[in-house]
Amino acid sequence: MLIKNGLVMDPATGRKGQWDIRVQDDKITAMGPNLAVLPGEEIIPADDCIVAPGFIDIHVHFRDPGLTHKEDLSSGSQAAAAGGFTTVVCMANTKPVMDSPELVQEFYDRAAREAVINLYTVGSVTRNLAGNELTDFVALKEAGVVGFSDDGNPVENSALMRQALEQAGKLGLPVITHCGQLSLVGDTIINEGSVARSLGLLGMPTTAEDIHVARDVLLAQLTGQHVHIQHVSSATSIAIIRAAKAQGVKVTAEATPHHFSLTDEALLTQGTNAKMNPPLRTRTHVAALCQGLADGTLDVIATDHAPHTAEEKAEGMINAPCGIIGLETALGLVWTELVRPGILTPMQALAKLTCAPAAIVGLRKGTLAVGEDADITIFDPAAEWEVQPEQFFSKSRNTPFAGWKLTGKVVTTIVGGRVVYHNGSIMANPAE
């Protein structure tokens, strides 16, 4: 196929131009202005569109195995394709927990059959996410995990976290950490402050996150190994990460679209669809997130796509589970909230969705060049659209963004040289 006349942007190399891209089998075989059409070649017009490396999300929950009423490998991968994501990394808090090489092997076998995009998984840091005993990192790596994470739970035991960093570091993999000390949670996981008080609830201070971020950065410094901090929500955490990076500590960090697009005031209008872990914070923290994204303290944008049923989200502010789905709104939020206001350049934003996440989990992906995998996302940066959750490919509908008008829409998603999504439809049957 020949992708014709798009604005090609490759943040890995900084190259940009009005070029065509030729794809043969699963690879990019030519790139340049006005390539001649070969006989029988399928033309994919990309006028007025940006042609980028396929997006990579290193933080999603596909709930498979065990919680497939919320999402599964197939539906999650279709939601990802619709959002322009060609590769995602699934978290380990499935049922059973992704803590054995047999489960990881089964994940990859099923992903190859059932998913329309590239799926990877982490292994859990501790057995059954219980925080007591490390998993078998060597065996999990052999089975194909791209990192280790107890996401959903912090690893409370510092000695265990130190050992995890040492063992993962020897294998060249990151420990991916969810920071938030549970002993500081009041009634439930919402931000401690005026909104929580107006709801009559005791919340969770940013300090709960900051303590763990500081500890994990210090343990990364002590061990000389790579820690990746998930879904940063606090100004102090960002300052800690910035200072650590300046000292050469191997720390990377991510921000989610909901944390840079919303404050805790969304709880008042969106109810439990605005309940996240870590919680949505105040304007001051949102401003710090934007600064951290702009200056590179926050390396990547990840969705923390977290499907839950309407029944679960109806359980009330104290008991409802945390999290929202995010794959199908990510690009629109990045473009509307960060690029159009000038907080990030298009190239900076795309780096955080492509080459930067690929580097953190050691994948040779996220760039457009001859010889590389043909994972390509074509999007219209000026297209305006309204978020209509009933049209999502995800099995779940838990989003606070229903009705939002966003600018920036995915048109075509190509995975391994095959069009898997185009203009509202999933094209590829993974069984083919």
Size of the site for Zn ion (CB under 5 A): 2
Nearest approach in angstroms of CB 73 to Zn ion is 20
Nearest approach in angstroms of CB 324 to Zn ion is 12
| Integer angstrom CA distances of residue 5 from 33, 49, 418 | 8, 8, 19
Interatomic CA distance for residues 126 and 25, integer angstroms: 40
Nearest approach in angstroms of CB 360 to Zn ion is 15
Q: Interacting stretch for Zn ion, rule CB under 5 A, among 27-35, 129-137, 143-151, 390-398? A: 143-151
Angle at 332 between CA 331 and CA 333, to 5 degrees: 90
- Amino acid letter for position 18: Q
In the set 304, 373, 375, 380, the catalytic residue is 304
Q: How many Cβ atoms are within 10 Å of 49's Cβ, its own excluded? A: 24
Nearest approach in angstroms of CB 154 to Zn ion is 9
Beta bridge partners of 123: 148
Interatomic CA distance for residues 410 and 418, integer angstroms: 16
Q: Can residue 99 be called a binding residue for Zn ion (CB under 5 A)?
A: no
Q: Can residue 151 be called a binding residue for Zn ion (CB under 5 A)?
A: yes
Nearest approach in angstroms of CB 304 to Zn ion is 6
Q: Can residue 178 be called a binding residue for Zn ion (CB under 5 A)?
A: yes
Nearest in space to 255 (alpha carbons), one of 235, 275, 274, 272: 235
Question: Can you state the angle between helices 206-223 and 235-246, rounded to 10 degrees?
Answer: 10
Nearest in space to 328 (alpha carbons), one of 407, 387, 413: 387
Q: Interacting stretch for Zn ion, rule CB under 5 A, among 172-180, 239-247, 373-381, 383-391? A: 172-180
Are 209 and 233 in contact by the 8 Å Cβ rule? The answer is yes
Task: Find where tokens 């043969």 sit.
Answer: 24
Q: Interacting stretch for Zn ion, rule CB under 5 A, among 97-105, 174-182, 378-386, 409-417? A: 174-182
Collapse the DSSP code of 118 into the 3-class scheme (helix H, G, I; strand E, B; otherwise coil) and give the result: strand
To the query of whether residue 380 is one of the catalytic residues in this protein, the response is no
Shortest Cβ contact with Zn ion: which residue? 178
Report 256-285 residues binding Zn ion (CB under 5 A): none
Residues that bind Zn ion (CB under 5 A): 151, 178
- Which residues does the annotation mark as catalytic? 304
